[in-house]
């Protein structure tokens, strides 16, 4: 009898039975590379094992030499309330079965044991235990996000952002968040969800740029078995899975045109139909969408439906770039220092903070976060010096706008190209690569900024030998 279970990843089964022959045959049935089986012959031995290990499933005989399984059950559950206990009783009566379940048994089976029934029952218990573990992780992550969902910055009442966020949280209307890359669109989406929903409400993220066009529809609306080759099972879509919570549609500007029409119908009718299905299903989901493209331009160029835009932007929150809200720098810096070095007392000297305020932050808050993280690694003392990391005197990297033009610097680019006698394809190549790099090699965002399609961008990069 081993008192430790070093392999935590595997499923764990404890058999408590004084009939060693029975114990051995059950052990043979389940002992494989995925399952660790342990046996105990008495209540005493089982108690010691349970005080030292957490078992997923306990197969517990009711008649043991030193006591009854039924009485041991509360002790096991006290030590590990996630254990699924299957009580094995000689002659189960209705009353004893009810008592077993009342005491916390997951299930019970009768002796003489039918091995097939036993196998099915134990496997079902493992399945339930696995599902519970997955749900627990999801709940933990949700909880963690919730605790972290505090508004940092947006102090300037002139923008009215903080107020708008609170209003959005209090309503169920669709929200559209816009702003340059790194301004905090994802952060604000989560904040709106967590401020307005209960702990158990899900928030499901879907990145419209990351899913292939062929998958995005079934991913969102679900699919009925047999709808197309490969649809071997009926599957709920994200709309259904987000029921009672929020669906965060990130990079909405990348949503394919066909899907934009279906999305509009879903939002207007507040119902969806699974791919291959013939039934409309009501949805109760709050939609939060985000894009770093300027929607007005995408509408003008015909890439985005005007009607969908109006439907999505009942509440529109535009996050200004960090260079336009430098008053938020001290709070954001303090937030990131606390995040990356919770146990260190670190400050940024005033003169350094002033220097930082002269920087243009092309990568916005994401860039500031990276700067602070790097400073904390490089400077071990009680002060950090961001100016040593960023080149504060470099000419501002032109702010990339969504139509791909570079604010205020297009003249320089052209001048440079002229002086070098650059060919048009070379100018195009350099410009595309600059925008690609500025978007941290994210094809979707870069193509968005350049006003070209995802596939054109991919093709261009391939032709430059980049991807
Ligand atoms: N107000 C904020 N408070 C705390 N952290 C923030 C804030 N805004 C942004 N950040 C941090 O900056 C980083 C970028 O934020 P986020 O991902 O929300 O930006 P985004 O606008 O969605 O960017 P993209 O357009 O590239 O998707 C994240 O690491 C986030 O934690
Ligand atoms: Mg984002």
Q: What is the pLDDT of residue 369?
A: 94
Query: Which CATH number does the domain housing residue 419 bear?
Result: 1.10.10
Is residue 6 in a domain? Answer: no
Residues 166 and 307 in one domain: yes
Judgement on whether residues 336 and 368 belong to the same structural domain of the protein: yes
What pLDDT sits at residue 196? 82
* Whether residue 293 has pLDDT greater than 90: no
pLDDT of residue 391: 67
Q: Measured in angstroms, how far is the CA atom of residue 150 from the centroid of ligand 1?
A: 13
Strand pairing class (271-272; 235-236) = unpaired
Sheet holding 175-179, edge to edge: 203-207, 246-250, 286-291, 175-179, 315-319
What average pLDDT does range 196-220 have in this prediction?
Answer: 82
Task: Determine the Cα angle at 424 with ends 422 and 427, to 5°.
Answer: 65
Q: How far apart are CA 159 and CA 151, in angstroms?
A: 14
In terms of pLDDT, which residue wins out, 133 or 264? 264
Confidence at residue 6, expressed as pLDDT on a 0 to 100 scale: 44
Measured from the alpha carbon of residue 402, the closest ligand is 1
Is pLDDT of 345 > 50? yes
pLDDT at site 3: 39
In a domain, residue 2? The reply is no
pLDDT number for residue 200? 74
Q: What is the pLDDT of residue 412?
A: 61
Lowest mean pLDDT across 48-57, 146-155, 280-289, 392-401:
392-401
Determine the 3-state secondary structure of 81 from DSSP.
coil
Domain end marker among 388, 420, 443: 388
What pLDDT, in 10s, does the model give residues 346-398? 999 999 999 898 888 888 999 999 999 999 998 888 999 998 887 665 554 44
Ranges 239-253, 278-292, 308-322, 406-420: which has the least confidence = 406-420
Same domain (yes/no): 169, 98:
no
Classify residue 210: in a domain, yes or no: yes
Same domain, 362 and 264: no
Among residues 368, 335, 327, 288, the alpha carbon closest in space to that of 157 is found at 327
Domain membership of residue 450 as a residue range: 410-463
Are both 191 and 156 inside the same structural domain? yes
Residues of the chain with pLDDT > 70, as a percent, come to: 92
Q: Which ligand is nearest to the CA of 183?
A: 1
Residue-level pLDDT at 185: 95
Q: pLDDT higher for 3 or 443?
A: 443
425: confidence class by pLDDT, cuts 50, 70, 90: confident
Q: Distance between CA 217 and CA 261 in Å, rounded?
A: 11
Residue 409, pLDDT score = 42
- Closest atom, ligand 1, to C-alpha of 150: 3
Q: What is the pLDDT of residue 94?
A: 75
Cβ of 335 less than 6 Å from ligand 1 = yes
Q: What is the pLDDT of residue 84?
A: 95
From 300, 319, 338, give the residue that closes a domain.
319
Ligand 1 center–CA 71 separation, angstroms: 54
Does the CB atom of residue 187 touch ligand 1 within 6 A?
yes
Residues 18, 43 contacting (CB under 8 angstroms) = no
CB 254 within 8 A of CB 209: yes
Residues 252 and 350 in one domain: no
C-beta of residue 174 within 8 angstroms of C-beta of residue 283: no
Q: What is the pTM of this model?
A: 0.65
457 lines ligand 1 (CB under 6 A): no
Q: Which residue has the higher pLDDT, 62 or 98?
A: 62
Statement to judge: residues 382 and 422 lie in one domain: no
CA 395 to chain centre: 37
Does the C-beta of 181 come closer than 6 Å to ligand 1? yes
pLDDT band, very low/low/confident/very high, at 405 (cuts 50, 70, 90): very low
Write the CATH number for 357.
Answer: 1.10.8.60
Cβ–ligand 1 contact at 153 (below 6 Å): yes
Q: Which residues pair with 35 in a beta bridge?
A: 11, 32
Is 147 part of any domain?
A: no
353 and 421 belong to one structural domain: no
Residues 164 and 312 placed together within one structural domain of the fold: yes
The answer, yes or no, to whether any atom of ligand 1 lies below 6 A from the CB of 363, is: no
Considering the domain boundaries, does residue 304 fall inside one? yes
For residue 442, give the ligand 1 atom closest to its CA: 26
- pLDDT for 85 beyond 50: yes
Residue 366 near ligand 1, beta carbon < 6 Å: yes
> Same domain for 300 and 232?
yes
253 CB under 6 A from ligand 1? Answer: no
Asked if the structure places residue 308 within a domain, the reply is: yes
Distance from the CA of 96 to the center of ligand 2, in angstroms?
Answer: 56
Task: Please name the residue whose Cα sits nearest to atom 4 of ligand 1.
Answer: 152
pLDDT of residue 4: 41
Helices 115-148 and 185-196, interaxial angle, to 10°?
Answer: 110
| Ligand 1 atom index nearest CA of 319 | 21
Mean residue pLDDT across the chain: 86
- Domain stops at, among 102, 133, 164: 133
Establish whether residue 364 lines the binding site of ligand 1, counting it when its CB lies within 6 angstroms of any ligand atom.
Answer: no
Q: What is the pLDDT of residue 159?
A: 82
Q: Are strands 222-223 and 235-236 parallel, antiparallel or unpaired?
A: antiparallel
Establish if 39 belongs to a structural domain.
Answer: yes
Q: Are residues 224 and 266 in the same domain?
A: yes
Q: Are residues 261 and 373 in the same domain?
A: no
267 domain-assigned? yes
CATH code of the domain covering residue 15: 3.40.50.2300
Would you state the pLDDT for residue 394? 53
Q: Look up the CATH number of the domain holding residue 175.
A: 3.40.50.300
- pLDDT average, residue stretch 215-244: 86
Q: Is the pLDDT of residue 88 over 60?
A: yes
* Number of structural domains in the chain: 4
């Amino acid at each position: 009898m081993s008192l430790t279970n070093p392999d935590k990843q595997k499923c764990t089964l404890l058999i408590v039975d004084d009939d060693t022959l029975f114990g051995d045959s059950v052990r043979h049935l389940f002992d494989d590379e995925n399952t660790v089986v342990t046996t105990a012959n008495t209540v005493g031995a089982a108690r010691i094992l349970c005080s030292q290990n957490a078992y997923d499933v306990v197969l517990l005989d009711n008649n043991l030499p030193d006591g009854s399984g039924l009485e041991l059950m509360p002790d096991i559950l006290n030590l590990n309330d996630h254990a699924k206990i299957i009580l094995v009783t000689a002659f189960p009566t209705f009353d004893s079965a009810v008592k077993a379940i009342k005491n916390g048994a997951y299930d019970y089976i009768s002796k003489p044991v039918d091995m097939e029934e036993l196998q099915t029952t134990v496997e079902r218990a493992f399945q339930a235990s696995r599902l519970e573990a997955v749900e627990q992780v999801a709940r933990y992550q949700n909880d963690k996000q919730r605790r972290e969902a505090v508004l940092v910055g947006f102090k300037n009442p002139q923008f009215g952002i903080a107020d708008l966020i609170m209003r959005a949280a209090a309503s169920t209307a669709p929200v559209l968040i816009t702003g340059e890359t790194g301004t905090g669109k994802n952060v604000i989406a989560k904040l709106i969800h967590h401020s307005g929903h209960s702990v158990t409400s899900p928030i499901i993220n879907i990145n419209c740029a990351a899913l292939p066009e062929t998958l995005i529809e079934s991913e969102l609306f679900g699919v009925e078995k047999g709808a197309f080759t490969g649809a071997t099972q009926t599957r709920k879509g994200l709309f259904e899975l987000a029921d009672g919570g929020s669906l965060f549609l990130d990079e909405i500007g990348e949503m394919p045109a066909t899907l934009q029409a279906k999305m509009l119908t879903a939002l207007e009718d507040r119902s969806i139909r699974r791919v291959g299905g013939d039934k409309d299903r009501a949805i109760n989901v709050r939609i939060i969408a985000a894009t770093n493209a300027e929607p007005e331009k995408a509408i003008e160029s015909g890439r985005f439906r005007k009607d969908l835009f109006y439907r999505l932007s009942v509440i529109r929150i535009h996050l200004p770039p960090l260079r336009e809200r430098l008053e938020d720098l001290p709070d954001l810096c303090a937030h990131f220092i606390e995040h990356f070095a919770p146990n260190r007392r670190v400050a940024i000297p005033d003169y350094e903070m002033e220097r930082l305020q002269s920087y243009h932050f092309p990568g916005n808050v994401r860039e500031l976060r990276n700067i602070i993280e790097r400073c904390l690694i490089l400077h071990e003392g009680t002060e950090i010096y961001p100016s040593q990391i960023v080149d504060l005197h470099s000419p501002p990297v032109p702010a990339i706008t969504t139509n791909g033009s570079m604010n205020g610097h297009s003249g320089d680019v052209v001048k440079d190209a002229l002086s070098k006698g650059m060919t048009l394809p070379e100018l195009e190549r350099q410009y595309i690569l600059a925008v690609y790099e500025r978007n941290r090699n994210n094809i979707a965002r870069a193509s968005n900024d350049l006003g070209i399609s995802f596939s054109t961008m991919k093709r261009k990069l391939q032709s430059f030998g980049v991807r």
